[in-house]
Structure 1
Amino acid sequence: MRHTPPSARTRSRRDTGAGTWRGGIRRAIRVCSRPGPWKRGPVLAAAALLLGLLLLLHAQITDRGGLGSLVETFLPWFGLFIPVLLIGALWRRSASAVAALLLPAVMWLHFFGGLLGDKSRPGSDLTVAEQNVNADNPDPAGTARGLAASGADVLALVELTPEATGTYEKVLAKAYPYHTVQGTVGLWSKLPLSDTRPVDIKTDYGPLADTKPVDIKTDYGPLADTKPVDIKLAYARALRTTVATDRGPLTVYVAHLGSVRLMPRNGYWTVSRDRGAQALGEAIAADPSKRVVLLGDLNGTMDDRAFAGITSQMHSAQDAAGNGFGFTWPARFPVVRIDQILVRGVEPESSWVLPATGGDHLPVAAGISW
């Protein structure tokens, strides 16, 4: 058996001790040199602050190229970035990022927290409903039957075509003995209608506004991807009528504002929609009626600045008495609420989204009371 000399064992212990001591010093230096929790994740903290500022100052974003409207259309979805950033902050153990996330969290809850609960109340004097029935709807009769089954007293349909209007009139005749159609919008009612007229919402198709019919086939300008039906629907898209109820007259507007499009050269093109919203707001403001309901596909959310002229005098039934965000488009996987029920002089008691009936938008309904 080999024996290690005493002097060698002494040197070994001395070397081991020295190595351990030096290793401890290096570990201590590394620990001390690591950034503290308030210095970790500066990029995450900056992203959280930018998200909060976007929610806080969204109305100040330029609308050049429609950027402001585009941001406001999808404003609720920016809340998805909050849990993503929170996971990153916890993984990095960044106290600064967690603290910075308070700003977007508070702002999102301020704007949209009220939509998370059910604000509906039982009972109402009248039920109204609306749907964009889709000009390309392959089964208008089925759509009409589905809408009639909702039990609505007043039913607004937009994006009607001459070919399909007769089908809606036939199927809905029994449940709704009164109706009016003005251009591509119509109203069916269980109660008498009067003082009906079209409303000029100044639909503008941009470069197509002055195009001769013969030229439409060859030059769509920035609307090069427009479906043929959009050209077919380039006439009367709004109406006003009076519904005779047991509680007195109710003025109802039905509108289908112009489409919006994302285009490489023009950005988020909203010219037609914005002009229509302004004209519609002016018409409602000039209307002396005390009780007014607006039903329609407005091609925008009520967070969009383009609707300030309308939202300044009317409020959304979904916001006041709904349950959730009430997204309506597209029908298969709705991500925005562009079909609206807005009221003035009456109170919404409940608001909900109806099941799909074959159109590319989901129908919406609301119960209102005097």
Structure 2
Amino acid sequence: MTSSIEIQRVKSSKIASVDFDNLPFGSVYSDHMLTCDFVNGKWQEPKIVPFAPITLDPSAKIFHYGQSIFEGMKAYKDTDENVMLFRPLENCKRLNKSAERLVIPQIPEDIFMDGLKALLEVDSDWIPTNDGSSLYIRPFMFASGTGFHASPADAYKFIICSAPSGPYFAGKVKVLIEEKYARAANGGVGYAKAGGNYAAQFYPTQLAIDKGYNQVIWTDDNSHQFIEEAGAMNIFVRINDTLITSPTSDRILDGITRKSILQIAEDNGIDTEIRKISVGEVVEAAKDGSLKEMFGAGTAAVISPISGFGYNDNDFDLPELENPYAAQLKKLITDIQTNKSEDPYGWRVML
């Protein structure tokens, strides 16, 4: 399909105006985007067009009923100008899992993969080579069909955009363990990458920021006694020499970075556990010194170390370690992503 995708190139690229040595995250956009429409019960032919605003009818159901899902990916370029993706089929599968939950037509794998490859060929020059930088890729789907009736739409749009980006977070973050609000509930859409999940996070996160924290640690919706995610990322807790993360569920996203970290940790002799982690256990471990590390894991940041946390009006600082698991694992995973090491798992996809 790659060779048959219609390509409408920009008349003049804006790449010369971009400072690749000082890239913000996700706010500078490459020249083109891939679009594909679902109408009359089937997906149409994808095409690549100049990055530009989208025109929608005011009655488009995305505005009224929130049928919107997305993914986050990265493309890398090594010193030989090879372009690489990291486990892209996992993103396609997860997008379709989200689509099923929100009654959005699933995107065929060939449209997703061939369209993505064609887009990266067209915008290859936009992939940064600076350490810590990458081309952040945002595939998303939403309801473009019209009508005020509360029902699934009859038309949808699939788009892939990209943005050359620097690091998502600079340094460590301080977090607040949430005691009132919940990110998701049993039977809900927490496991899907639905836009509304993130919109609902903004208010409690802003309350935490107002108190001097950078982000929120989400707890379970029923008792608020078990930690589940760190902001928009999965969370890992190191107690003594064991790395622990919460099991996935209706409420917790099945993170691709999370799965990769667990595999790499186990293969490098780090003990791991997938189980519920109570707030009380974390607080007690912080008090007795057995809590060594906490970090978030996700596509954007890869691994984001946590310097300390607040809970019940008390603050707890984490120790400064000489060779933390967070740094070890981030290097191991990013070396695979950027072709600086062997890939024993077959995760790296060369284009």
Which one has a bigger Cα radius of gyration?
Answer: 1
Fold shared, TM-score > 0.5 on shorter chain: no
Pick the structure with more strand per residue. Answer: 2
**TM-score of the superposed pair, with normalisation by structure 2:** 0.23
**TM-score of the superposed pair, with normalisation by structure 1:** 0.22
